[in-house]
Amino acid sequence: MIPIKRVVLFKHGVGYFERRGKVSGNADVSFEFKHDQMNDVLKTLTALDLSGGAISSIAYDAKDDGRDVQGISLHIPQDEALSGLLAQLGGARIELIVAGEKIEGVVLGIERVATQNKDGVTDRSFISLLQKDRALSRYDIADVSWFNVLDDELRDDLKRLLEYQQRSQHSERKRLSLAARGSGERELLISYLVEAPVWKTSYRVLIGEDETRIQGWAMIDNTSDEDWEDVNVSLVAGLPISFRHNLYSPRYAQRPEVAVKQGVGYDAPLVAAGAELEEEESWEGAELRDSGAEALMSKVAPSPARMREKAAHFDQPKPGTATEERGALFEYSISDPVSVKSRQSALVPILFEPIHVEKVVLYSRGIRDANPLNALLLKNDTGLVLEGGPVTLLNGADYAGESMLEVFNKGEQRLLPYAVELRCKVTHHLDSESRDPYLLRIHKGRISLHAWHVQIRTYYFDNSVGEMLDVILEHPRMLAFDLVDTPEPFEELEDIYRFRFNVEAGQKLKFTVSQREEQSEARDLSTLDSYWVEEWNRKGYLSPEITGALRLSIARTHEIRQLESDVSERGSQIQQIAADQKRLRENLQALGESSGEKGLRDRYVKALGESEDRVDAQRKAVDEMRAKIEELTALRDSDLAKLDSEREIDKS
């Protein structure tokens, strides 16, 4: 077998396996794969003859989908196999041995009979046979020691069914064979991708007096049935697109079923004398010429030279533990060949390099409220990209703690907290305040006052460590808030600020973080009353020009409201007159034709005429008032719309 020479393990659960070896002359090379690996193998297999030969074919054990036994009506029972199988042979000729006697006949069926014995009632199965002399016989199946099916076709069906069942029980391993054709000794390269365990990393940070080093190990697993001997291993991180695709199962196309169209019979047609049929068209021009076939094959099958050119892309990278960036991926190449036995795992070194570190303490309320954490501030100056994994820290020969490292790119800085610093206590409290407005804006008939709402978090550090602490404080970064009256942060992340300061040995330190959010209150200018205008004018929020314009607007608004009140009052009067008129009309309808009632009728008619005059006068006055309201409203709104001002408020 051609051995594995290179393994590339990926973080998304696949492995690239490359085999290289020598063959001589025409040779067949075979490999075995697990059944569930075949789809990946067929999708990714590459086979190259690097010395001028060719891979003429690749054969593999087909997946047995049972299609060849689908037409067989028999099945092999799991329980009571003999009686269950004989029950399916109704009408078949068989021979069997019962109590040492060979008997031949046609199976009629199986009967179950309940029999009484000393142990109680039990079911017994009997086979009924029609024998040559047309006699009907019944035999206890428990006495049958052998039987044979005499029907050749039925016996073949049973044989194929048993062979399929046997194949299904031994289908875990699949053989794949390559036919390499050529002369002399040649080198073959075969590669493929199959599912593989994800490789993992862990690190040790060794803190010394003069320098700190980081040691990295990768854990790889050989879950295959084949040993890896002196294999070049590469480890790739990233997420290349990968998927499953079923190529191994036989695939059948569904074809439509077309029935023969049956036409209606016709009488025999009469053909006029002298009519001739046209000669059949010649098909000589449709022949496939050899030259055309050769041209087609030259386009489909690459030449040996092209195959060797493609093989050049599979050359191994130069030795040396390094990371190589490949677009969205990066790769560790292990410097020395690796050997891992089948079904075993191994730790392989990926780095042992000096690294720049600073000892700090990290305080974050979300991690621990009462104490900071001892931490290392690392800068990745190793020249390598470090994949994420657990980190163990050793201070000299002493165990210091553990941490987790996310993917660590070259040149980045990373905090690694590893232990709680119990000798430093931290307390904090929160205050908030709403400050006076700092800006007044008038635009498009609206006025808005802008002020700051400030949240103040005060931290108190009590250092009892006995040495100065280099503190990194993490403070939540709130949406829509800005820092104010606070030192510049050491680092800004998406959701936190980091501040850095020192706390001397045996000392206490107060550190305050203030964040402010703008709050504004807006309203229509036309709804302002005198109180707010005079109050804002007193505080200096408004300029004299704006104050005068707003006073005029308020005066017009008051006049408008007075007119609206008058309109409402006159409307009430009109309604009262209408009610009186209704009463007068009802009284008129009740009067008769007598002389006394005639005088009363004249008085009611006169009163109705006078009320109509009053209604007309009121309605005319209401129309004039409404016209005045529209005029004043338009004038006020026009003047307010012209106001456009942005004034910073002097806080002195």
Tell me: the pLDDT tens digits for 281-326?
433 333 333 333 333 333 333 443 433 443 333 333 333 455 566 5
Instruction: Tell which residue, 312, 49, 315, 311, has the closest CA to residue 185.
Output: 49
How far apart CA 502 and CA 115 sit, in angstroms, is 97
- pLDDT mean over 194-216: 94
Cα–Cα distance, 343 to 220 (Å, whole number):
11
Integer Cα distance of 486 and 339 in angstroms: 58
Which tokens hold the place of 181? 């054709």
Q: Partners of 359 in the beta sheet?
A: 376
C-alpha distances (whole Å) from 67 to each of 50, 426, 638 are 40, 75, 88
What distance in Å separates the CA atoms of residue 426 and residue 165, rounded to the nearest whole number?
73
- In order of 300, 319, 432, 436, 498, the CA distances from 483 in angstroms are 68, 51, 14, 18, 12
Angle between helix 530-539 and 544-590 (nearest 10) = 170
Token pair in block for residue 225: 């049935």
- Residues 333-349 have a mean pLDDT of 93
Q: Per-residue pLDDT for 622 more than 60?
A: yes
Out of 268-282, 536-550, 578-592, give the one with best mean pLDDT.
536-550
pLDDT in the model for residue 147: 82
CATH of 76-159, one of 2.40.340.10, 2.30.30.720, 3.90.1150.10, 3.40.50.300: 2.30.30.720
| pLDDT (average), residues 252-273 | 66
| Distance, CA of 555 to CA of 549 (rounded, Å) | 10
Residue 454 contacts residue 435 (beta carbons within 8 Å): yes
Beta carbons of 489 and 499 less than 8 angstroms apart: yes
Task: Name the phi and psi angles at 396, rounded to 5.
Answer: 65, -120
Instruction: Give the C-alpha separation, 550 to 548, whole Å.
Output: 5
pLDDT for 81 beyond 80: no
Residue ranges of the domains in the chain? 76-159, 425-526, 530-648
In 298-355, DSSP assigns E strands to: 322-326, 329-333, 338-340, 344-354
List the one residue out of 356, 96, 323 whose CA is nearest residue 214. Answer: 356
Name the residue among 119, 116, 94, 113 with its Cα closest to residue 104.
94
Task: Give the pLDDT band (50/70/90) at residue 4.
Answer: very high
Q: Say if residue 436 is exposed, middle or buried (CB neighbours under 10 Å; 0-12, 13-18, 19+).
A: exposed
The answer to whether 533 and 554 are in contact (CB under 8 A) is yes
Whole-number pLDDT of residue 290:
39
The arithmetic mean of pLDDT across residues 608-626, rounded, is: 88
How far lies 232's CA from each of 127, 209, 338, 381, in Å? 67, 36, 6, 26
Q: Between these two residues, 282 and 44, which has the higher pLDDT value?
A: 44
Q: What percent of the chain has pLDDT over 70?
A: 85
Residue type for position 337: P
Find where tokens 């050997």 sit: 339
pLDDT score, position 283: 36
pLDDT at 321: 59
**Nearest CA-CA partner of 560 in 621, 634, 623:** 634
What are the C-alpha distances in Å from 86 to residues 97, 143, 240? 14, 14, 57
Q: Residue with structure tokens 């009320």? A: 611
Amino acid at 228: W
Q: To the nearest whole number, what is the mean pLDDT of the chain? A: 83
